């Protein structure tokens, strides 16, 4: 999948990856897909929970080399 936008949240600890994601999503158009990279172990729980609570679609999650990549579609 090729995202419309990317957010590098590697090296940030909870709750910063989700806070940066929330701020970035505000500037996107409904339907845009953003890929978020995070290496905070708490992101495994925090990012999906944020998507569920805010109505954004968590399309998929990948992990490689200790970095999780979340593909999220902004809700309309």
For residue 51, indicate whether it is catalytic. Answer: no
Catalytic entry in 12, 14, 19, 58 = 14
CB 46 within 8 Å of CB 53: no
Strands (E), 1-76: 5-8, 33-38, 57-64, 67-73
Q: Are strands 33-38 and 5-8 parallel, antiparallel or unpaired?
A: parallel
Catalytic residues: 14
């Amino acid at each position: 999948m090729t995202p419309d936008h990317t957010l590098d949240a590697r090296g940030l600890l909870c709750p910063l990856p989700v806070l940066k994601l929330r701020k970035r999503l505000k500037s996107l158009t409904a339907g845009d897909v953003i890929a978020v990279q995070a290496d905070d172990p708490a992101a495994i729980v925090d990012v999906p929970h944020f998507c569920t609570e805010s109505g954004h679609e968590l399309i998929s999650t990948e992990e490689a080399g200790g970095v999780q990549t979340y593909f999220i579609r902004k809700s309309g």
